[in-house]
Copies of this chain bind each other. A is one copy, B any other.
């Protein structure tokens, strides 16, 4: 089915059991994907690029999401503009190359030319009553936060960006993202609905079975991926030691120092949030051998061996270490395809080969995201079976349950209230 009445959707939503995976239609149906587009993709900010990719006037890059293509371009006034890449004449893509530099945005078809700010500056042979001012490129909402360029596909009511900025700025400043540059970008096309990709990111229940390398680096895996009393005790001991040192270094001062209670992350899952935590004692950075990967970034005076985990809305996540940061954008394509776009940032002056080795830098999240792609696709394959039926989440998947509740409320009737409290008697974690 390709279109659904509100009633059909509302009945389907009502039939979902809290704490269970969703019915197949939510992961495969083109009509529900259209609904996701209208109710979710248009109502949230998503990371599209980094300011260092648009350094000079006229530098541009394209960002592709759910059938839309957005031009991000640096204007003569230094501002970054975002426009839908659709010529207002006959609808052609205006720019075709993924990135480049151009003094103006000229459509290759009939030469309609737009300034960097999107205004139509030239369109030959139009009739006398043609009003150029009505035919600028359609603007896409854009915000820059500490070097991170976010876009939002909203038609009119743009969601408030201030709470995102307020919550995340101290963390991004600590990591110096504004002065960083992109060292690497890898796109992982995933044959799965976007929700399966995000559900995978939101839990560590799969870390032990699926991510050997991750578990060697991250003691967090003991806490949110293992969760046995012994593992939790190991984590607490390491955390204690790490906090003392980080506070001494000033990398865990008040505004970035919250030791987030496990059950507090929950309701905020798709909202801005961040916290700091230690790596294993053996690791200063998320490298194979634990040694640093690149020059220190931002406000770090020395290695504190910590990691900052950050969420900026439902589609954008960051894991940052003292010397590099990795951003994850989960980009919907269609009902059964998504991209995971991984972007590695390093200190702005760092030079590849001299200051860092790209393979060492990108090792952990290249390996881990490749593993995730495989398990997400196996998940999607199983869900396509007619014999699939939703199953219950574990105590380590509270964020996944929270994400699903948020999702169903987002596309459901306005009156819907979260049913999170019905899951596991309201207790979400073993700790």
Identify the A interface with B (CB < 8 A): 1-3, 21, 37, 67-69, 84-94, 96, 106-111, 123-127, 130, 135, 138, 199, 205-206, 208-210, 227, 375, 378-379, 381-396, 424-425, 430
Contact = CB atoms under 8 A, between A and B. Distances in A.
B109 A68 contact: no
B395 A91 contact: no
B394 A92 contact: no
Given A91-B383, A109-B209, 19 more contacts: A67-B384, A67-B385, A69-B381, A84-B387, A86-B383, A86-B387, A87-B382, A90-B199, A91-B382, A91-B390, A91-B391, A92-B375, A92-B382, A93-B379, A108-B209, A109-B378, A109-B379, A110-B394, A127-B425
Nearest to A378: B93
A166 to B, nearest CB: 30
Interface core residue of A106, A375, A430 (most chain B CB under 10 Å)? A375
B396 A130 contact: no
Contacts of A86: 382-383, 385, 387-388
Contacts of A127: 392, 394-395, 424-425
Given A125-B396, A210-B108, A89 B387 contact: no
Nearest to A19: B127
A86 B205 CA distance: 18
A222 to B, nearest CB: 13
Contacts of A205: 110, 124-125
A209 B227 CA distance: 63
A126 B227 CA distance: 11
B395 A108 contact: no
Contacts of A3: 1
A67 B386 contact: yes
A403 to B, nearest CB: 13
A392 B208 contact: no
A385 B90 contact: no
Contacts of A227: 125
A130 B395 CA distance: 11
B208 A96 contact: no
A430 B125 contact: yes
A383 B386 CA distance: 28
Nearest to A88: B391
Contacts of A96: 378
Nearest to A375: B109
Contacts of A124: 205, 394
Contact of A89 (B2, B37, B89, B392): B392
A93 B381 contact: yes
15 contacts: A84-B387, A89-B391, A89-B393, A91-B379, A91-B385, A91-B388, A92-B381, A92-B382, A108-B210, A108-B375, A109-B375, A110-B209, A124-B205, A125-B395, A138-B387
Nearest to A209: B111
The 7 nearest A-B residue pairs measured at CB: A111-B209, A84-B387, A92-B379, A125-B394, A91-B383, A86-B382, A93-B378
A182 to B, nearest CB: 26
A136 to B, nearest CB: 12
Contacts of A90: 21, 199, 379, 391, 393
Given A68-B385, A384-B67, A386-B68, A108 B391 contact: no
A387 B68 contact: yes
A394 B123 contact: yes
A21 B91 contact: yes
Contacts of A1: 2-3
Contacts of A206: 109-111
